[in-house]
A and B are shown apart, each in its own frame.
Chain A
Amino acid sequence: MHPITTVHYLALSVALLAIGTIGVLTRRNIVIILMSIELILNAVNINLVAFSRHFNSVDGQVFAIFVITVAVAEAAVGLGILIALFRNKETVQADEIEILKW
């Protein structure tokens, strides 16, 4: 078997990014759209940690910590908005919320 190189991690990261993007763009349920955003951010983290190991420096891991911080803030605000939205509109389908649509 081939030894695992940074390329393997990059390919995995691309795959996870694609899965997350497909989820964001095609699903209607807002909860699952938020979950897909978490998948995208995790793909970024895999990339950062792979390059951190590649260059033998911890800067990439520090960046990954910041990415996780932003992901937490994003999840908290997003879910708060979702609860407010459900209270007002009684729906969680993204394409049924169209007040701003002309």
Chain B
Amino acid sequence: MLDTVFFYFFALLTVGGGVLTITRRNAIHSAVSLIVSLIGVAGLFLLQQAEFLFAVQIVLYVGGIMVLFLFVIMLVNLDESARVRQFNKQWWLALACVAAVTGELLFFVSKGTGGFRLAETTAAAAGKVGNTERIADVLFSQYLLPFELASVLLLAAVIGSVFVARKKV
């Protein structure tokens, strides 16, 4: 019962924030709406007993990526772009394509509805070890190579973005 209420609350935050993000004229307003949307997603993670991802979502997305976005918005002068036309010329074609793909996805999801009862988490699996410990077990055994590769990716991304954004001397 309470689960249902919280699901619809967080779903409203997520979708409402998303819609505001892509419709606002001022980029700062968009960024704040995106923060609302990301917090909604974090709440959905918590509802699904993914506590570690909830913390990661708040710390990394809301704390990290959004601060990066706000810094860039302040750095780049967006006053002029707020005054001009906001949507490009092919918006009707884009909307038609998105509507087609969305209809298709919803059709296939609804076709498979019968097999989608939410699995009851068994007390043994949920009670004994915490979510973080279970993730760590899998991450550092089965997915060790992708984990190490992710660090290489992050290093490359950091060096690349500093190199691209540097001032020419």
| Contact of A39 with B21 in the complex, beta carbons under 8 Å | yes
Chain A interface main SS type: helix
| Contact of A18 with B65 in the complex, beta carbons under 8 Å | no
| Contact of B48 with A50 in the complex, beta carbons under 8 Å | yes
| Contact of A4 with B3 in the complex, beta carbons under 8 Å | yes
A53 with B48, Cβ < 8 A, contacts A7-B109, A58-B138 known: yes
A66 with B150, Cβ < 8 A, contacts A7-B113, A16-B15, A56-B122 known: yes
- Nearest-neighbour CB distance to chain A for B126, whole angstroms, equals 9
| Contact of B91 with A26 in the complex, beta carbons under 8 Å | yes
A56 with B44, Cβ < 8 A, contacts A7-B113, A22-B94, A27-B86 known: no
Interface residues of B in 106-137 (CB under 8 A from A): 106, 109-110, 113, 116-119, 121-122, 125, 131, 134-135, 137
Interface residues of A in 3-41 (CB under 8 A from B): 3-12, 14-23, 25-29, 31-32, 34-36, 38-39
| Contact of A86 with B76 in the complex, beta carbons under 8 Å | yes
| Contact of A65 with B15 in the complex, beta carbons under 8 Å | no
User: How many residues does chain A have at the interface if contact means C-beta atoms less than 8 Å apart?
Assistant: 74
A55 with B153, Cβ < 8 A, contacts A21-B101, A26-B88, A32-B21 known: no
Return the chain B residue nearest A31 by Cβ. Answer: B27
| CA gap between A61 and B143 in the complex, in Å | 12
| Contact of B119 with A4 in the complex, beta carbons under 8 Å | no
* Interface assignment of B169: CB less than 8 Å from any CB of chain A: no
A65 with B139, Cβ < 8 A, contacts A34-B69, A76-B157 known: yes
- Nearest-neighbour CB distance to chain A for B114, whole angstroms, equals 10
Interface residues of B in 26-66 (CB under 8 A from A): 27, 30-31, 34, 37-38, 41, 44-45, 47-50, 52-53, 56-57, 60-61, 64-65
| CA gap between A71 and B24 in the complex, in Å | 23
Chain B residues packing against A (C-beta within 8 Å)? 1, 3-4, 7, 11, 14-15, 18-19, 21-22, 27, 30-31, 34, 37-38, 41, 44-45, 47-50, 52-53, 56-57, 60-61, 64-65, 68-69, 72-73, 75-78, 81, 84-91, 94-95, 97-99, 101-102, 105-106, 109-110, 113, 116-119, 121-122, 125, 131, 134-135, 137-139, 142-143, 146, 150, 153-154, 156-158, 160-165, 167
Chain A residues packing against B (C-beta within 8 Å)? 1-12, 14-23, 25-29, 31-32, 34-36, 38-39, 42, 45-46, 49-50, 52-56, 58-59, 61-62, 64-66, 68-77, 79-84, 86-87, 91-95
